[in-house]
Structure 1
């Protein structure tokens, strides 16, 4: 079942969120990669995301990137945004569980933004599963709250702003 971020259930769940995991490729990027002759890669990210991440963090939400691949561009973007990142994660459920345990949190306090098959398991476990509007159809079979914006084009900002707005009444 796909729901909108405008759904009242989104706000109800967002109030419980203490941690937000974010996939990188296809969520923070437009899912395209530029490959240069020497093998270097480049991606396009939206500058909109920074304000949304700061808004969510201001309400007490810990935000971090979790990527299946390992790429210096992920590290550089996370550093620029001043958020943590985990890379080379073959099992996102296992890795997310470890982060929750380290922070004394549970999946009932967690949100995740994903777009593809490797995000499905963690999206099925978190309290607030979010997918970008151009997510792969494999995610259509599970419950997610879908952004209006495309991955890499402000989807993270949209989700973070909605979380911050829902939580501002309890943290503001």
Structure 2
């Protein structure tokens, strides 16, 4: 199934990050992203569409998405299923061509709308139970890259990218 994926949809907190909240003494929040996930996304952007759907509205997410060249960014989303359905209709992708990586209860609503419902190793137990692809890596620790590498392998193009490519801003 990984070989037919045309759209990878990613949640942020707990998937691209470790899900922890970090605050400075001044009350400003920040997030920590794994550079391996970033390079994986930049590579995947060359062959599939990438989207972020998050309930969070942090400008940090928008900045990260911009740096990684993610064109489909949806923040502050309360109804992830409606958002995903709309995106799939717009891009004309079938359920089987879509993979989603989520980690918590608010991601379960999309599980029936995608061909692959994946989760990091440290996802909520209900998400793990519903997932058809549990990653070995935890959220924020290369889980997205692990999924992308498996997808590239299934598509028969991983060896080509493993030779090295020129990509900056990861």
Fold-level similarity (TM above 0.5):
yes
* Unmatched tracts of structure 1, length 5 or more: 1-12
* Unmatched tracts of structure 2, length 5 or more: 161-170
TM-score, normalised to structure 1, is: 0.85
Cα distance in 1 between the residues matched to 2:24 and 2:131: 38
TM-score, normalised to structure 2, is: 0.86
1:62 aligns with 2:63: no
Structure 1 stretches of at least 4 aligned residues deviating more than 6 Å after TM superposition? none
Query: Given the alignment, which residue of 72, 78, 81 partners 2:59?
Result: 72
Query: Given the alignment, which residue of 1, 15, 18 partners 2:6?
Result: 18
8 Å contact kept, 1:55–1:161:
no
Deviation at 1:37, TM superposition (A): 4.1
Deviation at 1:130, TM superposition (A): 0.7
1:63 partner SS = strand
Aligned length: 157
- Alpha-carbon RMSD across the aligned residues, in angstroms, is 1.5
8 Å contact kept, 1:133–1:148:
yes
Query: Which residue is 1:114 aligned to?
Result: 102
Query: Given the alignment, which residue of 47, 50, 75 partners 2:38?
Result: 50
**Structure possessing the higher relative contact order (Cα contacts under 8 Å, 6 or more residues apart):** 1
1:103 aligns with 2:91: yes
Deviations 1:98-121 (A, max 9, x none): 111111112121000000001111
Deviation at 1:79, TM superposition (A): 1.1
1:82 aligns with 2:69: yes
